[in-house]
Amino acid sequence: MTLLWIAIAVLLVPALWLLVSPLRNARALHDQQRDFEANDTSAEQNVAIFKRRLASLEAARERGDIDAARFEEDRLELERSLLEDTAFRERRPLKTASAGRIVVPLVMVAVVAVSVIWYQQKGAEGDLVLLAVQQEVQNDPEGSLAMYIERMEEQAERQPDNPNVWSTLFPLYRETGQMPKAVNALERLIEIEGRIPPLLAQLAQIRFFMAERELTDEVQALVDETLEQDPRQPTVLGLLGINAFDSGDYQQAIDHWRRAIANIEDPTTVSSLRDGIRVAQERMGIEPEIDPEEAVAVGSGIQVRVALDEELAGRVDDNDTVFVTARDLEGELPPLAVVRAQVSELPMTVTLDDSAAMSPQAQISQVREARLVVRVSPSGQATPQPGDLFGDLESVSVGPIDDAEAVEVVINRVFE
């Protein structure tokens, strides 16, 4: 927090400098205004202009260009204009150059006070405190989950209206088995954030398990309120699936879990629900289904038969390295699978599966289609070099290895 206030102070410095800067020019501006008022000759200039116009008007009368009535009318207009231009206007006394200096410090104090108050009301100081608490516990050699909960409970007393406090405490209480406190934290969060489907669904779920997986009237009311706002809410659908499974209505459980899976991104939760679906199907005496997405992830890959174009055979040696690579179609991930061999082994058939992955974050089982690239590298470098031979194949389907037929890639081009 000290760094935060230092940063705020640094940002206020330019604002305060802008307020002070006019004072540096006050003396010069005062002297200029004083000299202007002392040397003001506008009245004399207006009288001189009046005399020239009056002389011109008299000359026109003598020439007979205007009659006496017109002369008197125009002369009266000139006199009226002169009176307006030369009327005495009392000037306010020029104040000293130091006048009003006390206002600047007052304004500076007001700017600082308003900035601090505004930040305290609208800023995220409370969230920064929560982050500092988390870092403090993590850096403490004796830090523990109990210590973290204790620190967060202190913040709950200091920041009772901060939703991030309660959204942090709720899962902590739940993970440590303090269900009544978890319910209280979640209900407090709902008071602050409103009765939105995700929060209502979590409250229904925790009350459902506290009631030993019984769909009580209170839980049912929460379920109905949630589904009225969001019929696809996955947490509630999962809860209803558990209730149907416990009641022996396996088909209903399967239907609820399938709808939940369609709206869940967490792979661990999806896997658990699919396991539940398989168990329900076994209880019904039917052959468990394998979800199409799951089928790709289990024992999936590509069988590749690699051959060298006879016209290029003279350009390679038997010891040159062959890289067989699978990539995602968008080219956004690292290579999904790589097999390394030698030209002497061609033609050959290789298997590209997760065992050939370069990284756990990029595996061939994560995609439905892949692009195959086969490259012959005399230098043995993984990066393509001019003169390397290669062949590729776009949009190859990824599927179960046992059922897959090998696709053929011919090395028939030269990398330039």
Interval 200-213: pLDDT, tens: 999 999 999 888 88
Question: What's the full length of the chain, in residues?
Answer: 416
d(CA 387, CA 237): 58
Query: What pLDDT is recorded for position 38?
Result: 62
Classify residue 377 by its DSSP letter: E
CB atoms within 10 A of CB 194: 9
- Residues 46-99 have pLDDT tens digits of 777 878 888 888 888 888 778 888 888 888 888 788 777 666 555 566 666 566
- Residues 258-309 have pLDDT tens digits of 888 877 877 778 878 888 888 888 888 877 655 545 544 445 788 899 999 9
Per the CB < 8 A criterion, the answer to whether 345 and 404 are in contact is no
- Chain centroid to Cα 175, Å, comes to 28
Highest mean pLDDT: which range of 103-117, 216-230, 361-375? 216-230
Q: What percent of the chain has pLDDT over 70?
A: 72
pTM of this structure:
0.46
* Residue 185 CB burial class (10 angstroms; 0-12, 13-18, ≥19): buried
CB atoms within 10 A of CB 207: 19
- For 286-325, letters b (16+ CB in 10 Å) and e give eeeeeeeeeebeeebbbbbebebeeebeeebeeebbbbbb
* Residue 199 CB burial class (10 angstroms; 0-12, 13-18, ≥19): buried
d(CA 50, CA 48): 5
Packing angle of the helix pair 234-246, 217-229 (nearest 10 deg): 140
